[in-house]
């Protein structure tokens, strides 16, 4: 009577980290952490590159490592790995990332019997391609296995798959999958979620282009209706949109750690790993030159304004947004800078009244934005200080008071303008503009009421207004009153 042989033990599974276990590149994440600490690290990193890729990774990891609990893991694959580990399959993390990062991830997740990574051992190799395959084969033999399985995602993993008994592809591009299946027709595949146009538009915050409508305000205020004034502003609108979107990408890249802790911002495409860091940087490299080329076509003065906007925005992203009160002053100033840029593009004179109204109005809205964010973060998580910001929980009442005061000052300046010499000269019947005073006052009080009720959910107030029916009715009313004041009845 023959007895059934026990099933052969499963071959060990070696798991790649970047792009496979996590939907990001941990080296890119580490570089961003360094740049966030100081842009001057860029010069040091260029020097480190001269020592080779492994040495570069080691140097970067010595100064910054992403927190493993904040990384965007691939959920379906992670669940499958846990099921494999529960069935007794040995799991080994095998990655080209630096050993510090790999060990931190393995320690956070648990379940990995060992870690193979760059800069382990005396040779300090960059553990990629053939080097990774050799290290895996040596490790498998040392633990009594004549074969191994491998899970990866990129073309660099093809040499490793060539020597594997089993292949698992995670988030792999179509071209890599096609080449893999020639060697492993039965490869298990965890398909990548496609990056959609909607995700790209969300990443560049196309909806924020509505703010650039402020470029047209000086033309309207000057009562210019000729194409010679409007065409340059239309080009300026496109240039400003491209430049602003590129700076939003920079801001989101630098703010990844904080965004991943935020209840809503963690769903942004970059924070969630839906869009890769390298792809975002590549898009920025296209947007900035195109924006400046369009700006030059408008006028050298407008180009200077756009370059100034870029410099202030980058300084805000790198440092100044963490300085209490300076952040909201800068935000209101950036809104007002759009008015200046619009006047430069159209070649019209900008009214001091319009500048004053803009500064107070947008300072109030910047304070709305900050209060809404802080209420979401501080009150929900019961922390005393907001991460990445210079505010404490006790600052909220004072910020609300400043914001409401700024809103009321906006209305007061508007009322003074209506009865000024400028108002009487520009408008046929300026008395109609008095209707704008209670209307604007109502809108400002309402936005603060909704902020206090936490109905903005940390959202930008102008973005909130875009899908708020009442705000559209107010805008329609202000437009009608402006038309009546301009042309009379």
Q: What share of the chain has pLDDT > 90, as a percent? A: 62
Check residues 281 and 318 and name the one with the higher pLDDT.
281
Q: What is the pLDDT of residue 430?
A: 84
Query: How many other CB atoms sit within 10 Å of the CB of residue 419?
Result: 12
What average pLDDT does this structure show over 164-193?
A: 93
For the stretch 394-415, pLDDT in tens is: 888 899 999 999 999 999 999 9
What is the pLDDT of the chain when averaged over all its residues? 89
CATH fold for domain 13-190: Rossmann fold (3.40.50)
Tokens (6 digits) for 36: 């966030």
For the stretch 57-99, pLDDT in tens is: 999 999 999 999 999 999 999 999 999 999 999 999 999 999 9
What average pLDDT does this structure show over 193-219?
A: 89
Categorize the per-residue pLDDT at 1 as very low, low, confident or very high, splitting at 50, 70 and 90: very low
Categorize the per-residue pLDDT at 419 as very low, low, confident or very high, splitting at 50, 70 and 90: confident
Whether the CB-CB separation of 9 and 140 falls below 8 Å is answered with no
Q: Does residue 319 surpass a pLDDT of 80?
A: yes
Categorize the per-residue pLDDT at 431 as very low, low, confident or very high, splitting at 50, 70 and 90: confident
Q: What is the pLDDT of residue 7?
A: 55
Q: What is the pLDDT of residue 2?
A: 46
Q: What is the pLDDT of residue 379?
A: 59
Check residues 423 and 333 and name the one with the higher pLDDT.
333
Q: b/e map of 286-310 (b: 16 or more CB within 10 Å)? A: ebbeebbebbeebbeebbebbeebb
Q: What is the 3-state secondary structure (H, E, C) of the chain?
A: CCCCCCCCCCCCEEECCECCCECCCHHHHHHHHHHHHCCCHHHHHHHHHCCCHHHHHHHHHHHCCCCHHHCCECHHHHHHHHHHHHCCCCEEEEEEEEHHHHHHHHHHHCCCCEEEEECCCCCCCCCCHHHHHHHHHHHHHHCCCCCCEEEECCHHHHHHHHCCCEEEEECCCHHHHHHHHHHCCCCEEECCCCCCHHHHHHHCCHHHHHHHHHHHHHHHHCCCCCHHHHHHHHHHHHHHHHHHHHHHHHHHHHCHHHHHHCCCHHHCCCCCCCCCHHHHHHHHHHHHHHHHHHHHHHCHHHHHHHHHHHHHHHHHHHCHHHCCCHHHHHHHHHHHHHHHHHHHHHCCCCCHHHHHHHHHHHHHHHHHHHHHHHHHHHHHHCCCECCCCCCEHHHHHHHHHHHHHHHHHHHHHHHHHHCCHHHHHHCCCHHHHHHHHHHHHHHHHHHHHHHHCCCCCCCCHHHHHHCCHHHHHHHHHHHHHHHHHHHCC
On whether the 197-487 domain is CATH 1.10.600, my answer is yes
Which of 172-186, 213-227, 399-413, 470-484 bottoms out in mean pLDDT, i.e. has the lowest?
213-227
Greatest mean pLDDT among 93-102, 341-350, 430-439 lies in 93-102
Check residues 387 and 355 and name the one with the higher pLDDT.
355
Beta strands 149-152; 114-118: pairing state = unpaired
Q: Does residue 135 surpass a pLDDT of 70?
A: yes
Q: Does residue 433 surpass a pLDDT of 70?
A: yes
What average pLDDT does this structure show over 10-38?
A: 94
Check residues 260 and 100 and name the one with the higher pLDDT.
100
Q: Does residue 345 surpass a pLDDT of 60?
A: yes
For the stretch 240-254, pLDDT in tens is: 999 999 999 999 998
Q: Does residue 118 surpass a pLDDT of 80?
A: yes
Residues 55 and 51: their CA atoms lie apart, in Å, by 6
**pTM metric for this prediction:** 0.84
* CB-neighbour burial class of residue 171 (10 A; exposed 0-12, middle 13-18, buried 19+): buried
Q: Does residue 230 surpass a pLDDT of 70?
A: yes
What does the domain layout of the chain look like in residue ranges?
13-190, 197-487
What average pLDDT does this structure show over 439-468?
A: 85
């Amino acid at each position: 009577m023959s007895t059934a042989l026990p099933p052969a033990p499963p071959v060990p599974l070696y798991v790649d980290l970047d792009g496979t276990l996590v939907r990001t590149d941990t080296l890119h994440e580490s570089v961003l952490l360094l740049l966030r600490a100081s842009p001057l690290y860029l010069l040091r990193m260029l020097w480190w590159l001269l020592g080779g890729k492994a040495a570069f990774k080691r140097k970067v990891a010595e100064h910054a490592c992403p927190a493993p609990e904040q990384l965007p893991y691939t959920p379906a694959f992670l669940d499958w790995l846990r099921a494999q580990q529960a069935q007794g399959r040995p799991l080994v993390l095998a990655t080209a990332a630096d050993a510090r990062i790999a060990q931190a991830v393995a320690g956070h997740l648990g379940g990995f019997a060992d870690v193979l990574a760059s800069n382990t051992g005396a040779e300090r190799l960059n553990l990629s391609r053939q080097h990774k395959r050799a290290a895996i084969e040596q490790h498998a033999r040392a633990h009594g296995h004549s074969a191994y399985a491998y899970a990866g995602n990129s073309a660099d993993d093809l040499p490793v798959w060539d020597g594997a008994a089993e292949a698992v592809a995670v988030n792999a591009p179509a071209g890599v999958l096609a080449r893999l299946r020639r060697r492993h027709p039965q490869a298990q595949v965890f398909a990548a979620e496609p990056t959609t146009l909607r995700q790209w538009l969300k990443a560049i915050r196309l909806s924020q282009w509505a703010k650039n409508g402020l470029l047209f305000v000086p033309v309207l205020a000057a009562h210019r209706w000729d194409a010679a004034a409007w065409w340059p502003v239309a080009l300026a609108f496109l240039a400003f949109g491209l430049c602003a979107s590129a700076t939003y990408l920079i801001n989101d890249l630098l703010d990844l750690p904080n965004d991943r802790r935020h209840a809503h911002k963690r769903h942004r495409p970059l924070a969630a790993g839906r869009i890769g860091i390298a792809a975002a940087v590549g898009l920025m490299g296209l947007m900035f030159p195109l924006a400046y080329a369009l700006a030059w076509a408008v006028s050298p003065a407008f180009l200077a304004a756009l370059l100034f906007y870029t410099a202030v925005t980058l300084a805000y992203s790198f440092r100044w947004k963490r300085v209490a009160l300076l952040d909201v002053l800068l935000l209101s100033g950036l809104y007002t800078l759009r008015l200046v840029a619009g006047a430069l593009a159209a070649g019209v004179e900008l009214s001091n009244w319009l500048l004053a109204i803009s500064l107070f109005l947008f300072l109030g809205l910047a304070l709305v934005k900050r209060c809404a964010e802080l209420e979401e973060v501080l009150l929900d998580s019961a922390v005393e200080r907001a991460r990445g910001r210079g505010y404490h929980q006790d600052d909220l009442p004072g910020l609300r008071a400043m914001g409401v005061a700024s809103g009321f000052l906006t209305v007061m300046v508007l009322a003074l303008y209506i009865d000024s010499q400028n108002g009487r000269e520009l408008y046929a019947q300026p008395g109609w503009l008095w209707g704008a005073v209670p209307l604007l006052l109502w809108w400002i009080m309402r936005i603060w009421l909704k902020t206090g009720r936490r109905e903005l959910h940390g959202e930008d107030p102008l973005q909130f207004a875009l899908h708020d029916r009442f705000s559209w009715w107010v805008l329609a009313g202000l437009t009608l009153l402006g038309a009546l004041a301009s042309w009379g009845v």
